[in-house]
Amino acid sequence: MKSNLKLYVLLVAVIAVAGLTVADGRTVCGEGTNAPPRYVPAMLSNGSLCMTVDFSGGVSAPKKERRRGMSNGIFILGKRMGGPKYALYGHGWYRPTLRVDGMSLDVPDRWRQSLDPTAAKTTVVSEFGDVVRTIETFVAHGADVIAIRQTFSGAQRVEAGIEYFAPEDERIQGQWEDLPDGRAFSYKVFGKKIDNGRITVRNAKEGGAFVTFISFGKPYAGTYAVLAERHAAAWAKYYSASEVNVPDAEVMSMRRMAEYQLKCNVTKWSIPVGLLPSHFQGGIFAFDEMYAVQGLLSAGHFDEARRASDYRFHTLGMAKSRVIGAGARWVWTSIEDPKVEWAPIGYWLDHIFHMSAIARTCALNARYADDEKYLRERAYPVMRECARFYAIHCVYDAPDGSSFVCKCTDLERLCVAKVRPFMTTCGVIDTMRLAAEAADRLGVDAKDAKNWRRIASRLEKSLPVKDGRFAAAANDLNAVSMGVMAGFFPFPIFPKGHPEQTAAVDWFLAHGVKAGNMYATGKKICPWYAAAMAMGAMRAGEGEKVLPLIREAGTSAGVWGEYWEINEPGVAECRPWFMTAAGNCLYAINSMLLMEADGECRIGAGVPKEWKDWSFRLPAEGGYEVEFEMKNGVVTKLVLRQQAYNSKRESDPRTVKVILPDGSRHTVEVVSSGVVKISP
């Protein structure tokens, strides 16, 4: 039967007038039930429990019509119905209630809601005449607990509470039970399997504040103050992995929001594009996963980034079973169960470039840490099977000494059956080279490595060219596709200055607005495309184009600064809180400051000349981090330190070739601490 039971928690107390503290970050304002035109609820997530808090201070009831491609509700990754859709099931919703002097107050005169990505919490301040209510909410780091604190001013006697509505679905059955300090809802979900669960709503009073804890699974028995302190400390530790200071407030805001969105989507499995039903039901795409990893690694978040490559390692056996004895093949869209292909039937199932994204994801996780143990035990086994899959299944040798990749779907908007698809071929070349390089380092699979290099060399001869530039595909030479930049980004197989690749980047930067979105819709450039274009320009040596493209990505931001898949009001609006755009933008912002290319460490490759005061502390590929500072246009600090993940001893001698913003080249020693002199 349906569970339409609800919980009404009533707290009554006499409270004194208190000061109000509104969280840092962006704030939106409205009156009554009116919100700004581009408003979407604030997302809070700990990588397991994800929810959307609106301007009421609660979570809206799920609706059949999704607002701009966003699902309202409370969802936990791994909690799914059965096939064929394996949908995430909602865990109910709640709303705050308020009575003052016996009178119910539902609609405020005015309200303001803020989202503080640094503290990972949202605050709603509502005015009911002279009465002001402040609701602070966060999803606890490391525990599936929603913490809510309500404070008031302007009234003596207040009745405040949380009204919780249990999930309603014919496959969810449950009942409430009373507790000394609240109630609990125990339920069963009849889906793919019977899933038992428990939602506990506990109330307490701390000082002049009313607090509510909504727990999923094990109930939280502590105080709000302790939980908030732990939550804040965990997020502070996350952000401490790197530092960036540039004289552009919008870029700084974009960077923080990108870090926030990525952290919210890092699960114990991998990194989906979102943890909401509207975001492909929390599906994991290897291509998007790669962009997340690039962004995370470039900001020093190694533990989070390894979730993706570890996921591929742990599901390697299943991937190998699909092509027995001939490498491994992962499905296009994964979920927590590696046996399931979540994606519906469509030409996207004819992609193969996601295998190269998996190989690059694993390679980067080993490269940034310079961790040979991780390379040997986890990264290379996956890379090897990706290379074998391509070599056995996808590459054909031609009589003219070239090789080519089989017909397949390249970028989706190009549709089906691309002949010699440029982006896919660049990905295959990249996989072959990465796997061969890793095999050499580990001293294994010498015969395979030789063959992989042969294949990469022959494939390079077959890349489609038109008018001196690389083209999208041999049977679609005129297509305007972001894929034509692929040899610089995301698969950097060509050195800076490569003529056909540089020409292709310039051509797409000039024509990209015609195909600036993943889908054939909209009139602008979506944020993850704009960031990819910035990377292409940077690797082409055209640094002056980088910041304008990053700012272009920022124009699609929502009211919180959140990244969307596409956000063109009145034209195309699709999926706010979209992880892939956050990953790409974070990588582009960090790379404009520090980028490894062609065996050199480039500092300020995308920094505009007018910036005279800027600094950063960021990791580089190769197991070291760089601390740099420029004041009044003069370099005042340059330190290269060994990363903690690096398994080498600090005493091991090591130097790095560094290119400074003025173009001068220097050899710099990697040390454990201290400022080092640079020498030409």
Q: What amino acid occupies position 386?
A: C
Parallel/antiparallel/unpaired status of strands 403-405 and 395-397:
antiparallel
CA-nearest of 210, 225, 224 to 99 is 210
pLDDT at position 64 is 55
Q: Specify the pLDDT at position 11.
A: 37
pLDDT at 4: 35
Q: What is the pLDDT of residues 43-89, one digit of tens each?
A: 999 999 999 999 999 999 887 545 678 889 999 999 999 888 899 99
CB contact set of 647 (below 8 Å; sequence gap of 6+): 370, 371, 372, 373
Task: Measure Cα distances from 320 to 323, 388, 632 in Å.
Answer: 6, 11, 56
Q: How far is CA 232 from the centre of its chain?
A: 20
Which three-class secondary structure state does DSSP give residue 6? strand
Lowest mean pLDDT among 58-72, 277-291, 311-325: 58-72
Flag whether pLDDT at 13 surpasses 70. no
616 C-beta neighbours (distance < 10 Å), count? 21
Q: Kindly state the average pLDDT of the residues 169-182.
A: 93
Q: Is 17 helix (H, G, I), strand (E, B) or coil?
A: coil
Given this model, what pLDDT does residue 646 score?
62
Q: Is the pLDDT of residue 35 over 60?
A: yes
pLDDT at residue number 5: 34
The pLDDT score that the predictor gives to residue 490 is 97
pLDDT tens, position by position, 185-240: 999 999 878 899 999 999 999 988 999 999 999 999 999 999 999 999 999 999 99
pLDDT (tens digit, 9 = 90+) per residue, 141-163? 999 999 999 999 987 788 888 99
Helix axes 302-314, 286-298, angle to 10 degrees: 150
- What pLDDT is stored for residue 647 in this prediction? 55
Q: Tell me, what DSSP letter sits at residue 394?
A: I
Give the mean pLDDT of the chain. 91
Specify the amino acid at residue 60: S
Segment 618-654, tens digit of pLDDT: 999 999 999 999 999 999 999 999 887 665 555 567 8
pLDDT for 660 beyond 50: yes
Burial class (CB in 10 A: 0-12, 13-18, 19+), 99: middle
Q: Which helix (H) or strand (E) segment is 581 a member of?
A: helix 579-593
Q: Which residue has better confidence, 1 or 637? A: 637
What is the band of 10 on the pLDDT scale with cuts at 50, 70, 90?
very low
Q: What's residue 135's pLDDT?
A: 98
Residue given tokens 């207040």 in the structure block? 158
β-strand pairing of 600-603 with 594-597: antiparallel
Q: How many CB atoms lie within 10 A of CB 124?
A: 25
| Residue-wise DSSP of 344-384 | PSSGGGGB-THHHHHHHHHHHHHHHHT-HHHIIIIIHHHHH
- Element housing 396 (H / E): strand 395-397
> Cα 418 vs. chain centroid, distance in angstroms?
29
Give CA–CA dist 256/26, Å, rounded: 12
Contact between 199 and 184 under an 8 Å Cβ cutoff? The reply is: yes
Structure tokens at 240: 């401490």
Question: Measured between alpha carbons, how far is residue 8 from residues 55, 164, 201, 269 in Å?
Answer: 20, 6, 10, 35
CATH of domain 243-603: 1.50.10.10
Structural tokens at position 84? 């064929």
- Asked if 459 contacts 405 with a C-beta cutoff of 8 angstroms, the reply is yes
| Percent of the chain at pLDDT exceeding 90 | 79
Contacts of 427 (CB under 8 A, 6+ apart): 353, 355, 356, 357, 360, 486, 491
User: What six digits make up the tokens of 243?
Assistant: 């530092």
- Cα torsion 317, 321, 323, 325: sign: positive
- pLDDT of the residue at 650: 54
pLDDT in tens, 442-483: 999 999 999 999 999 999 999 999 999 999 999 999 999 999
- The first and second tokens of residue 608, run together, are 């505009």
Q: Is the dihedral of CA 466, 470, 472, 478 positive or negative?
A: negative
Q: 323 exposed, middle or buried (CB, 10 Å; 0-12, 13-18, 19+)?
A: middle
Give the model's pLDDT for residue 49.
98
- Tokens 């005061």 found at: 613
Tokens, residue 186: 């125990």
Task: State which CATH number among 3.30.110.30, 2.40.160.40, 3.20.20.70, 2.70.98.50 fits the domain covering 6-239.
Answer: 2.70.98.50
The SS3 assignment for 309 reads: helix
Is 16's pLDDT higher than 80? no
Q: Is the pLDDT of residue 611 over 60?
A: yes
Residue 461: CB atoms within 10 Å: 12
Give the tens place of pLDDT for each residue, 381-438.
Answer: 999 999 999 999 999 999 999 999 999 999 877 888 899 999 999 999 999 999 999 9
pLDDT digits (tens, 9 = 90+) for 373-383: 999 999 999 99
pLDDT digit string, tens, across residues 486-526:
999 999 999 999 999 999 999 999 988 877 777 777 778 88
Which residues are paired to 130 by β-bridges?
none
87-124: per-residue pLDDT in tens?
Answer: 999 999 999 999 998 899 999 999 999 999 999 999 99
CA distance 300 to 627: 13
Radius of gyration of the chain (CA): 26
pLDDT tens column, 541-557? 999 999 999 999 999 99
pLDDT of residue 411: 86
User: Do residues 538 and 591 make contact, with C-beta atoms less than 8 angstroms apart?
Assistant: yes
- Domain assignments of the chain as residue spans, ordered by start: 6-239, 243-603
For residue 448, what pLDDT is reported? 98
Order across the sheet with 42-45: list the strands: 42-45, 49-53, 74-76
pLDDT, residue 67, reads 60
Q: pTM, whole model, 2 decimals? A: 0.94
pLDDT exceeds 80 at position 312: yes
